[in-house]
Structure 1
Amino acid sequence: MSERVLVSEKVGQFFVESDRGRDRLEYTEYGAGEAWVVLLPGLLIPRRMHDGLARTLASSGAHVVTLDLLGHGRSDKPDDPLVYSVTSFAEQVVALLDHLGATQAVVGGTSLGGNVALEVAAIAPSRVRGLIVEMPVLDNALEAAIVAFAPLLLTARFLPFAVSGVRLASRRIPRRVVAAWIGVALDSLDQQPRPMAAYVHGVFFGRAAPPVKERLRMKAPALVVGHPRDPIHPAADAELLAEQLPNARFVRARGILEWRTRPERLDLEATRFVLECWRPARPARRVRRTGA
């Protein structure tokens, strides 16, 4: 990949209304232009997990936005489980596009963020130029997801001091002395017990992803990335998704942390995909008619 060039970065915010109140969401915008890309983080992870990819895409000409969904990062964190669901997260992405004046975007995400990207394609297909789905949580991940996330819910509900203690400990580690991806992991530990319990409750008991019949109807081009030896995000789920989506390509990562610690290969795959999604359609060739 060519050397990354400097791009503009700015933080913004917008508000979403619901029957339960008004919530503030925060995002970071990279670059400029009409080739929009929205990147979404995984469960309880802040948007800065995608800083590197966002800068790479923006330096190639894309206009990239990373979003803290409700309950993530610097966005509001209500403690009502009813405000959290994959569908409501997808609605927040559509509201972001409306706020930015973006007719369409390539929507991408990791883990939960990948599921949300799929949900955007289900509820607002005309707004999706393409999909980047890294390690989705689908049918083969059910048991592992229960084992991983049920303890989070129970701990936040019945041992809130443990969550608060981890939060205080993580804040004592200066982010400037650790690798960027370790800093993102530490930021993910900065949780408050009541919002965390509400968040996991809402996501855990709601619709996790569009059902198969809806996936089969998604016509947007898709890049699906799967990880080997990942029990919560089995590569089998990613491969199956790539087979179900009518216009998808599957890429196998070399390890769970490849895109975090050695991102060059997958950044290149994502950049090529985004540029292809936004390449102007070629005009149909005119056939010259010959006389009889």
Structure 2
Amino acid sequence: MTGADRVLVSERIGQLFLDTERGRDRLEYTEYGSGDSWVVLLPGLLMPRRMHDHLARALASNGAHVVTLDLLGHGRSDKPADPLVYSVTSFAEQVVALLDHLGAPQAVVGGTSLGANVSLEVAVIAPKRVRGLILEMPVLDTALEAAIIAFAPLLLTARFFPGALTGVRWATRAVPRGVVPWWLGIGLDTLDQRPGPVAAYVHGLFFGRAAPSLRERKAITAPALVVGHPRDPLHPVADAELLSEELPNSTFERARSIMEWRLRPERLDLAATKFVLDCWRGPQRRQRSTNA
């Protein structure tokens, strides 16, 4: 089905409550379409779930039942100021809790950047719940130094100059989202952060588990679509290529630019849609391929 043939799909906002030692955490998600071909999409670092609105609608219009989730600390979900609650493992546990909440035995789980790492972690802690993986811009060994350089200033600013983040937050809130391009609105939402939770979030991710180990990655048998971007210092294409080689049942797709899936999504939407439909057609042998 082409973009011109897509059908309208239902969209519903839901909430998931998780009981913790601190009380209750609330997570918010959006559900697209219906049926048993579940897909869960996870956002990048500090980004809202609506970054995947377009892909979710494309998949749902082709028959998938898609859920986009704001992980703890993201978007409209709760944002506690406790670094102990933020880790790739705890995020993966939230995804499993979401599947339980929805009554979904399995799902294709995917995400961008942090969302890709969390998807890998779901495949490690709950392999029977993962039908397939969509992994865009994973952050692995090659990217760790760049990530530290990029986000250490954010941690220091949130800890020692919280007024700067508060000022940015109020400035971004003053911009009506309806009058700016969609991706600029996503960026403004990402900047809408309170200092305490941001400091806790970055601290937790810096000093916690960032991704499954090499041994664990090689043991993941679920089909995987790995998407890498050229000329992206925070998400080197080498990490994506290496991950595709490590996963025994993967396909590698090279994006034409960092922004292709955001600004000209048709080609990669088609690749993701084909992958999801293949995953839900039943067990198949998939051949590794690389697209230039």
| TM-score under structure 1 length normalisation | 0.95
User: Does 1:75 find its partner at 2:91?
Assistant: no
Deviation string, structure 1 residues 30-80 (Cα, Å, up to 9, x no partner): 000000000000000000000000000000000000000000000000001
2:111 to 109, 112, 130: 109
Aligned twin of 1:286: none
Aligned twin of 2:131: 129
Name the CA distance, whole Å, in 1 between partners of 2:183 and 2:263. 7
Deviation string, structure 1 residues 127-179 (Cα, Å, up to 9, x no partner): 00000000000000011011101011000000100001111111111111111
Percentage identity across paired residues of the two chains: 76
Secondary structure (helix, strand or coil) at the match of 1:198 reads helix
Name the CA distance, whole Å, in 2 between partners of 1:94 and 1:134. 20
Secondary structure (helix, strand or coil) at the match of 1:7 reads coil
Shift of 1:19: 2.2
Name the CA distance, whole Å, in 2 between partners of 1:87 and 1:11. 25
Secondary structure (helix, strand or coil) at the match of 1:34 reads coil
Aligned twin of 2:288: none
Name the CA distance, whole Å, in 2 between partners of 1:204 and 1:114. 16
Secondary structure (helix, strand or coil) at the match of 2:25 reads strand
Name the CA distance, whole Å, in 1 between partners of 2:155 and 2:282. 47
Name the CA distance, whole Å, in 2 between partners of 1:5 and 1:176. 24
Name the CA distance, whole Å, in 1 between partners of 2:209 and 2:224. 21
Aligned twin of 2:179: 177
Aligned twin of 1:237: 239
Which AA in structure 2 matches 1:107? V
Matches within 5 A, 1:224-263: 224-263=226-265
- State how many pairs are aligned: 282
Which AA in structure 2 matches 1:104? Q
Aligned twin of 1:191: 193
Secondary structure (helix, strand or coil) at the match of 2:165 reads helix
1:219 to 221, 226, 229: 221
2:59 to 45, 57, 62: 57
Name the CA distance, whole Å, in 1 between partners of 2:144 and 2:101. 35
Name the CA distance, whole Å, in 1 between partners of 2:177 and 2:74. 18
Which AA in structure 2 matches 1:121? A
Aligned twin of 1:97: 99
Runs of 5+ unmatched residues, structure 1: 283-292
Shift of 1:281: 4.9
Shift of 1:181: 1.1
Name the CA distance, whole Å, in 2 between partners of 1:173 and 1:58. 30
User: Does 1:36 find its partner at 2:26?
Assistant: no
Deviating more after overlay: 1-10 vs 24-33: 1-10
Matches within 5 A, 1:268-287: 268-281=270-283
Which AA in structure 1 matches 2:126? A
Shift of 1:94: 0.0
Secondary structure (helix, strand or coil) at the match of 2:226 reads strand
Secondary structure (helix, strand or coil) at the match of 1:240 reads helix
Deviation string, structure 1 residues 80-136 (Cα, Å, up to 9, x no partner): 100110000000000000000000000000000000000000000000000000000
Which AA in structure 1 matches 2:34? A
Aligned twin of 2:161: 159
Which AA in structure 2 matches 1:135? M
Deviating more after overlay: 175-184 vs 225-234: 175-184
Aligned twin of 1:149: 151
Name the CA distance, whole Å, in 1 between partners of 2:250 and 2:283. 18
Name the CA distance, whole Å, in 2 between partners of 1:273 and 1:60. 12
Q: Based on CA coordinates, which of the two structures has the bigger radius of gyration?
A: 1
Root-mean-square deviation over aligned CA pairs: 0.9
Shift of 1:20: 2.7
Name the CA distance, whole Å, in 2 between partners of 1:281 and 1:250. 19
Secondary structure (helix, strand or coil) at the match of 1:27 reads strand
Secondary structure (helix, strand or coil) at the match of 2:134 reads strand
Aligned twin of 1:168: 170
